[in-house]
Amino acid sequence: MSMDSLRETFFAECEDLIESLTENLDLVASHEWDTETINAIFRAVHSIKGAAGAFGFNDLVDFAHHYETTLDLIRSDQLEISSDVLRLIVRSSDNLAELVDCSRTEGSPVPDATEGLIAELIQISGGSQEDASSEEEFVFTPIAAMAIEIDTDPVDGFEISFKPQPSLYMSGHDPFRLLTALNRLGKLTVECVTGDLPSLDAFDFDNSYLAWSVVLHETDDEDAVREVFQFVEGHCEIEITPIAADTSATDLPEPLEAMEPLAVPEESKAKPAEKPTPVQSTKPAKSAQSTQTVQSTLRVDPERVDRLINSVGELIINHAVIDRNLKESGLVSNSEITTALDDYGTLAREIQEGVMAIRAQPVKSLFQRMGRVVREAGEATGKKVSFVTEGETTEIDKTMLERLADPLTHMLRNAVDHGIEVPAKRQEAGKLEEGTVRLSAAHRSGHVMIEIVDDGAGLNRDKLLEKAIEKGIITTDAKLSEPEIYALLFAPGFSTAESVTNLSGRGVGMDVVKTAITSLGGKVGITSSPGEGSTFTISLPLTLAVLDGMIVEVGSETMVLPLSSIVETIRPDASDIQEVTPGEWVLSVRGTFVPVVNLNALMGLQQTQEEDKNRVFVLIDANDATIAVSVDAIQDQRQVVIKSLKGNYGAITGIAAATILGDGNIALIVDTEALGGLAASRRAA
């Protein structure tokens, strides 16, 4: 395996470890943890540290070392989890994740908070910078000289046979650290078994030849012994055999005469320090993880999945072609071949759904990253913010998951910076000092709905209008509905911030959010209550590979309108269509006038507006406003395979993508969000 492949494997495993770390820290924060929870947190940090050392990520190793030192004090009951300690280890977890991201990109600077967090970790652990710099200095001596001399009085204990595999060393682990950890549990005798050492000419430096025979006594806790080796499981051969209480000293192996003692750091043998007085007690009596089961996973190159999805899309198109040809041949619908074709279609749809499920991933990993964003924004603004997530198991296409990170980051930062008030103002308003930002996801009507809700001050409509007029976005006599006022937030260059900060005030962000979400085929809406907070709702399709659409005829062309944007279809009376200005018409729908967009004229196809009186109208939701799109006829409603135009032809304003129909012809998929903007521009011209 190449070094690049090993690096990618390391970072993929780091993602899993950080996810586990975050889950267990959430249990600690909710007071639902036990000893195993802390052990799992420690193992995650230790595993990241060990593997990072193998790649020379020294900054990551150094920080993880200080972090795990504090965690070791917690799990050995030398440090209680007070509110300050909890806050520190959560911030350290965020910083550890950032360091992993920085290690992925060469030349990335170390996060600014790293040095300060190290100082806090050292202070809370009862040490100093000088002490920490020389902490656990291990000097590797020849293996033949490794032994730990201890008293061998007969006591309860364990005989341990330990033989590392080559993968243990490749993962950055060190047998001496394991032996040191065992030494903390009781009294230890260690013998290095060198019988497998080959001659020098047959020596393979990538192999593992040494083993250790260990006797540990003055302990009867087998779980603690196994815990030492838990994070190297699969990388070594190990046997642990209990020793009866009446075992005599003569039963224990004598240290080899050729061995010289190797001193264990004094702090490893020191008695536990006196516990500090806890600020709060959070340790529960029951584990919250006792019923969890381990699920196996298979890592697959995303490009392979994409190729498979494209092949399945071609399979569906091929089915549509065969179906059309059979219908044109005049075969009866109940013939054997049409029945077989129906089965073929059902099977193709099942394969498609199965393949799409491979790309679907829970939003959990994304939501965990957003927790770091909210905490950092709270620190930067001096606000107390609680972050709550719901629906973390909701699945979404992996491509969408990746492209949602930036828009969600902008929106969450704005929720903290603009939405949540400072503690003093919240108290004046009769609220708790700590604000709440909630991020939730759910499947609704074939879409993924993501909501960002804050309990802050809400949006000030008058201030939004004032700023929009000041920047020339709207005129002073403009009459806007509430949704249209809130939509001003997405205008380029719009900002209500009084001053420029690290988080906001430059007028960039929300327009980028709108563009990013629209590019995913989604929509974003806003509701707000003054003094109570705001809600931003993002609606996304389940996948970017297929689309539920309405097939329409526009002149000599066939086009597809996304069903997600369609409100209803209407064939009106001639009296319902009125001309308001030359060339501009409106449609009366239950007492409300809706502007008419002639798709034929908009796309450059020649047709007179008078013909609208005999046409079909499709009401669609575009840019938070309803417009009536006139088409010649509606053919069908079906699921189509999306084909990108950007890679095959180029970007076309008003067209989102294309698809291949059953007759082999290409149909353009209309970008309904851009449709409203094009119509507005044409009317203005």
For residues 383 and 456, the answer to whether their CB atoms sit within 8 Å is: no
> Mean pLDDT throughout 19-33?
87
> Mean pLDDT throughout 332-354?
81
> Mean pLDDT throughout 224-253?
72
Q: How confident is the model at residue 245 (pLDDT cuts 50, 70, 90)?
A: low
Q: Classify 132 as helix, strand or coil.
A: helix
Q: What is the pLDDT of residue 368?
A: 87
User: Which string of DSSP letters, residue by residue, matches 87-135?
Assistant: HHHHHHHHHHHHHHHHHHSTTPPPPTHHHHHHHHHHHHTT--HHHHHTT
Q: What is the pLDDT of residue 682?
A: 55
CB-based contacts of 172: which residues, under 8 Å, 6+ apart?
49, 50, 51, 52, 53, 54
Q: How confident is the model at residue 67 (pLDDT cuts 50, 70, 90)?
A: very high
Tokens at residue 13, please? 């495993």
Q: Is the pLDDT of residue 453 over 90?
A: yes
A 10 A CB-CB count for 212 gives 22
Q: Is the pLDDT of residue 565 over 90?
A: no
> Mean pLDDT throughout 194-219?
83
Q: Is the pLDDT of residue 581 over 50?
A: yes
> Mean pLDDT throughout 210-216?
89
Q: What is the pLDDT of residue 301?
A: 74
Among 237-251, 525-539, 563-577, the least confident range: 237-251
Q: What is the pLDDT of residue 534?
A: 93
Among 267-271, 308-312, 471-475, 615-619, the least confident range: 267-271
Q: What is the pLDDT of residue 456?
A: 92
In degrees rounded to 5, what are phi and psi of residue 252?
A: -85, 145
In degrees rounded to 5, what are phi and psi of residue 510?
A: -70, -30
Q: Which residue has the higher pLDDT, 391 or 278?
A: 391
Q: Is the pLDDT of residue 553 over 60?
A: yes
* H-only helix segments in 330-396: 336-359, 364-381
Q: What is the pLDDT of residue 445?
A: 64
Q: What is the pLDDT of residue 684?
A: 52
% the chain with pLDDT above 70? 80
Among 34-43, 130-139, 196-205, 495-504, the least confident range: 130-139
Q: What is the pLDDT of residue 145?
A: 38
> Average pLDDT of the chain?
78
Identity (one letter) of the amino acid at 350? E
Q: Is the pLDDT of residue 34 over 70?
A: yes
Q: Is the pLDDT of residue 261 over 60?
A: no
Q: What is the pLDDT of residue 137?
A: 40
Q: Which residue has the higher pLDDT, 306 or 552?
A: 552
Q: How confident is the model at residue 498 (pLDDT cuts 50, 70, 90)?
A: low
Q: Which residue has the higher pLDDT, 486 or 151?
A: 486
% the chain with pLDDT above 90? 10
> Mean pLDDT throughout 309-331?
80
> Mean pLDDT throughout 431-453?
89
Whole-angstrom distance, CA of residue 392 vs CA of residue 326: 46
Q: Is the pLDDT of residue 134 over 60?
A: no
Q: What is the pLDDT of residue 173?
A: 80
Among 12-21, 303-312, 477-486, 494-503, the least confident range: 494-503
Q: What is the pLDDT of residue 663?
A: 73
Whole-angstrom distance, CA of residue 20 vs CA of residue 43: 10
> Mean pLDDT throughout 422-445?
90
Q: Is the pLDDT of residue 192 over 80?
A: yes
pLDDT per residue over 72-106, tens digit each? 888 888 888 888 899 899 999 999 988 998 888 87
Q: What is the pLDDT of residue 200?
A: 76
CA distance between the termini of the chain: 61
Q: What is the pLDDT of residue 509?
A: 63
> Mean pLDDT throughout 444-461?
87
Q: How far is CA 406 from the centre of its chain?
A: 11
Q: Classify 95 as helix, strand or coil.
A: helix
Q: Which residue has the higher pLDDT, 625 or 555?
A: 555
> Mean pLDDT throughout 589-606?
81
For residues 74 and 81, the answer to whether their CB atoms sit within 8 Å is: yes
Among 60-69, 130-139, 235-244, 368-377, the least confident range: 130-139
Whole-angstrom distance, CA of residue 140 vs CA of residue 146: 9
Q: Which residue has the higher pLDDT, 288 or 653?
A: 653
Q: What is the pLDDT of residue 130?
A: 44
Q: How confident is the model at residue 387 (pLDDT cuts 50, 70, 90)?
A: very high
H or E stretch at 620: strand 616-622
Whole-angstrom distance, CA of residue 468 vs CA of residue 475: 8
Q: What is the pLDDT of residue 2?
A: 59
Q: What is the pLDDT of residue 440?
A: 95
CB-based contacts of 502: which residues, under 8 Å, 6+ apart?
380
> Mean pLDDT throughout 509-538?
86
Q: What is the pLDDT of residue 259?
A: 37
Q: What is the pLDDT of residue 127?
A: 65
> Mean pLDDT throughout 647-673?
79
Q: What is the pLDDT of residue 607?
A: 57
Q: What is the pLDDT of residue 483?
A: 80
Q: Is the pLDDT of residue 279 over 80?
A: no
Q: What is the pLDDT of residue 329?
A: 80
Q: How confident is the model at residue 262 (pLDDT cuts 50, 70, 90)?
A: very low
Q: How confident is the model at residue 295 (pLDDT cuts 50, 70, 90)?
A: low
Q: Is the pLDDT of residue 263 over 80?
A: no
The vertex-485 CA angle with 479 and 489, nearest 5°, equals 145
Whole-angstrom distance, CA of residue 294 vs CA of residue 298: 13
Among 131-135, 333-337, 611-615, the least confident range: 131-135
Q: What is the pLDDT of residue 464?
A: 87
H or E stretch at 589: strand 584-589
Q: How confident is the model at residue 465 (pLDDT cuts 50, 70, 90)?
A: confident
